[in-house]
Amino acid sequence: MAAANTDDSNTPNLVYPIGKIIHLKMSTPNQKQATLHVKIKQQKQPWTLSCGMVVELKDAGDSESISATLRNQSEAFLKMFDRRFAEQIRQDNGIDAWSGDMEQEFLTALTSGRAEEFLRKLQTVLDFQRDTEDDWDAAENEVYLATELRKCFASEIATYARLEEYQGKIIPRFLASFILDVPSSNMALTTQQQELFKQQGILLQYLAGFSLSTLVDNAPETSWQAIVDQAIEIVHVLGDHGILNADVRPDNFIVVPKDDSYQVFMIDFGQCRFRRENESDAEWGRAKWRQDEEGAVDRAGKFGSYGIALDFNLPQEIGVKVRAISMISKITKRDAEELASRWQILLRGLVGGERSLALAADTGRGS
């Protein structure tokens, strides 16, 4: 993959300008196709794994093929899993900002069958990416990005389905999934080629609030701890439903003012995975420990400087203060944090009854 070029001349405003009406093709419960027209009101940048926009729903109430929930919405949050403008995944993989020339190379690879052959190797050849990615051309990079974002799209939908009972409470309500067809110069594409080419997205409840990363600027100090506690509890809910989220960070929580308090929602589930059926307690516990989703709520360590604790609300009689480890032990801060993480997992297992005690024994052997 080439070194990333962040040239600002490649702007998504050409494709998703404010005021533009775009047409979303959706499958309805009766397997019929419905088209929803939405007007872009606001771009929510930066764009990471998806392109986020606030949209106004146009004429949704006129179509009985669209769900009643969606017809009752005047605006929503649109997430496009568009490889062209997903800045984070392009930069993380050292891929240049999208250009028209890249798209032409991508289309040529699609119609020639070369893209499908590359995808076959990517999916079936052991260590293919590791051994070859430095030599991928622009078209192969685009195929890779399209494949990765399809995984993110599928992960979002699956996670919202598993957490359906929590929609509108700790995660946004899921409104619809859709396809946005991008003109392809009238090229005839096979079904698999169309799968690589089309842009997919989801519509969610729009939450008018602020991100957890801007907490201290948007909420009174008296509410900080309660807000962070809500975020930690949401992480626990995901864990209790067999979900590991590799993208927990303050920017992925929205804090919504509600009367005299605040309601916290987690967003962005494109990097979630479910616990596998054959994944043992020790394996699952180890994966959760390594990811440290609770600690990632304060990834930058900013909350601690304001006296906000990332507590687990453990019973007082246990009386363990894991943050004191680095003060009473002659070990490095990094080692102290690792040891604290092990104790936190052990204690949550003792208290909740659903955490793995096998993990404590497994990780303890390396102490």
Give the per-residue pLDDT at 191. Answer: 77
Q: Which structural domains are found in the chain, ordered by start?
A: 12-204 (no CATH), 210-364 (1.10.510.10)
Tell the burial category of 358 from Cβ atoms under 10 Å away from its Cβ (0-12, 13-18, 19+).
middle
> How far, in Å, CA of 58 to CA of 290, rounded?
45
- Three-state SS at 207: coil
Q: Rounded to 5 degrees, what are φ and ψ at 304?
A: -60, -35
Q: What is the pLDDT of residue 116?
A: 93
Q: Beta partners for 23?
A: 37
10-residue mean pLDDT profile of the chain (367 residues): values are 48 84 80 84 91 89 65 90 94 93 93 94 96 97 96 97 97 94 65 84 96 94 94 95 95 94 97 96 92 84 74 41 38 52 49 38 42
Cβ-count burial 241-272 (b if 16+ within 10 Å, e if not): eebbbebbbbbbbbbeeeeeebbbbbbbbbbb
Residues 6+ apart with CB under 8 A from 121: 128
* Residue 334 pLDDT: 52
Say what the pLDDT of residue 73 is. Answer: 83
pLDDT of residue 303: 77
Cis peptide before 46 (omega within 30 of 0): yes
pLDDT of 65 reads 62
Tracing tokens 């590799």 back to the chain, one arrives at 246
- What pLDDT score was predicted for residue 1? 64
CA diameter of the chain: 70
Distance, in Å, from the CA atom of 107 to the CA atom of 61, rounded to the nearest integer, reads 37
Answer whether 345's CB lies under 8 Å from 287's CB: no
Is this structure's pTM higher than 0.95?
no
287-305 per-residue burial string, b: 16 or more CB within 10 A, e: under 16? bbbebbbbbbbbeeeebee
Q: How far is CA 356 from the centre of its chain?
A: 26
pLDDT of residue 142: 97
- Alpha-helical (H) ranges within the chain are 68-71, 87-92, 100-112, 114-124, 128-132, 138-162, 191-197, 215-218, 221-240, 281-291, 293-296, 302-305, 325-328, 333-352, 357-364
Q: Are 67 and 76 in contact (CB under 8 A)?
A: no
